């Protein structure tokens, strides 16, 4: 469960987020749609306590963002981009073990969890090879495993689909659906309407730091055709442009 209550963020020159509020239930996928510079990454960084909000707060799995930052971080798994966050001179296993122990897992629990993940994502063959030698798809699997090595209840993915080919994005979206099945709360951001429409339960449209629309994707898909949804979104963003 992720609860975001009126979060704003002001950087020196710009107001990156304005009073952002929404919830993510367990077993729910929320797609955060926004153009470049809309504030998606800033929101992800705030939820993962890397940045402090100028105002507002949030709870993740019952932990308060501002007063329990370490507990919050332990309850979230985060992936920035699709394949980053790995140390190339370490093996896949060493990478995973490092993040497991930083999240306070014992080495026994960690190695159990790592072999579990190796089975799920099918990387037993290269788990003891250095990440620097991996192909993009291999790295992507390890990066996902790294994000959830501590079995977090909330999962944040910041533009995980950016610049991916068909095969690589399948790995990502299979993972998102699997997490939903495991009852996780998931936020993934994207600037692709297509991916959000296909993979999320709810869509939060953010424009210049403001939420301009939240809607139920399943409902819309029943009511409208693909083209119509695209048009609705396009109009929303254009209106947002005028309103701001």
Partner 1 sequence: MFKTAMVVFFKEMKDLLRDKKTFIMGLLIPLTLLPVMLFIIDYSMNSSQRRADDEIRIAVSSKDNSFYRFCTAHDDIKVVDVDNTKAAMESGIISAYIKVSENIDDDIVKDKDYTQDLDIQFNTSSIGSMMSTRKIAYYRDLYFILAQSLKKHVSSAEELRNMISNADINGAVMKEYPYTDDDGAANIDMSSMYFNMLVPMMLILYCCVGSSSTASDLSAGEKERGTLEALLSTGADRTSIIVGKLLATTAMGAMSGLCTVLGLSVYLIVSSGTSSFSLTFFEFLALLIITLFTSMFFAAVNLTIGVYSKSSKEAQTYLMPVSVISLIPTYFTYTLDVGSINIEYLCIPIVNIVCVIKEIFAGSLNPLHIGIVVGWLLLYVAAAFSLTSYMFKKESVVFRN
Ligand X SMILES: Nc1ncnc2c1ncn2[C@@H]1O[C@H](COP(=O)(O)OP(=O)(O)O)[C@@H](O)[C@H]1O
- Give me 43's structure tokens: 């929101």
For Mg ion, what does the binding mask look like between residues 40 and 79, x meaning CB under 5 A?
-x--------------------------------------
Please choose, out of 27-35, 79-87, 175-183, 202-210, the segment that lies near partner 1 by the rule CB under 8 A. 79-87
- Asked if 93 is part of the footprint of partner 1 (rule: CB under 8 A), the reply reads no
For partner 1, what does the binding mask look like between residues 115 and 144, x meaning CB under 8 A?
---------------x--------------
* SS3 at position 210: strand
Binding site partner of 37, from partner 1, Mg ion, ligand X, none, Cβ cut-off 5-8 A by kind: ligand X
Q: How far apart are CA 37 and CA 207, in angstroms?
A: 8
Neighbouring C-alpha atoms within 13 Å toward the C-beta of 114: 25
- Give me 214's structure tokens: 């939240």
Of 144 and 212, CB closest to partner 1: 144
- Identify residues 171-190 at the interface with ligand X (CB under 6 A): none
CB burial of residue 214 (10 Å; 0-12, 13-18, 19+): middle
Residues paired with 215 in a beta bridge: 203
- Asked if 86 is part of the footprint of partner 1 (rule: CB under 8 A), the reply reads yes
> Residue 31 in contact with residue 217, Cβ under 8 Å?
yes
- Give me 166's structure tokens: 């068909």
Q: What is the sign of the dihedral through the CA atoms of 30, 172, 9 and 34? A: negative
- Asked if 104 is part of the footprint of partner 1 (rule: CB under 8 A), the reply reads yes
CA nearest neighbour of 188 among 30, 13, 18, 17: 30
**Minimum Å distance from CB 229 to ligand X?**
21
Residues that bind Mg ion (CB under 5 A): 41
Residues that bind partner 1 (CB under 8 A): 11-12, 45, 48-52, 70-71, 73-74, 76, 78, 80-81, 84-90, 94, 98-99, 101-104, 130, 146-147, 150
Residues that bind ligand X (CB under 6 A): 11, 14, 16, 34, 36-42
């Amino acid at each position: 469960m992720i609860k975001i209550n009126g979060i704003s963020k002001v950087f020196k020159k710009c107001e990156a987020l304005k009073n952002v509020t929404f919830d993510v239930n367990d077993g729910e996928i929320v797609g955060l749609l926004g153009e470049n510079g809309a504030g998606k990454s800033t929101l992800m960084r705030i939820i993962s306590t890397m940045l402090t909000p100028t105002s507002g707060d949030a709870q993740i799995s019952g932990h308060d963002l501002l007063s329990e930052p370490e507990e919050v971080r332990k309850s979230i798994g985060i992936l920035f981009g699709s394949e980053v966050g790995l140390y190339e001179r370490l093996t896949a296993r060493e990478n995973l073990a490092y993040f497991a122990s930083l999240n306070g897992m014992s080495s026994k629990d960690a190695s159990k969890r790592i072999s579990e993940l190796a089975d799920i994502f099918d990387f037993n063959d290269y788990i003891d090879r250095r990440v620097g030698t991996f192909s993009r798809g291999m790295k992507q699997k390890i990066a996902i495993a790294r994000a959830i090595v501590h079995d977090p209840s909330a999962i944040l993915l910041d533009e995980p689909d950016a610049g991916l080919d068909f095969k690589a994005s399948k790995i990502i979206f299979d993972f998102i659906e699997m997490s939903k099945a495991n009852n996780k709360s998931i936020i993934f951001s994207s600037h692709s309407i297509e991916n959000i429409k296909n993979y999320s339960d709810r869509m939060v449209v953010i424009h210049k730091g403001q939420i301009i629309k939240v809607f139920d994707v399943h409902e819309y898909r029943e009511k409208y055709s693909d083209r119509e949804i695209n048009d609705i979104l396009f109009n929303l963003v254009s209106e947002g442009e005028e309103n701001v």
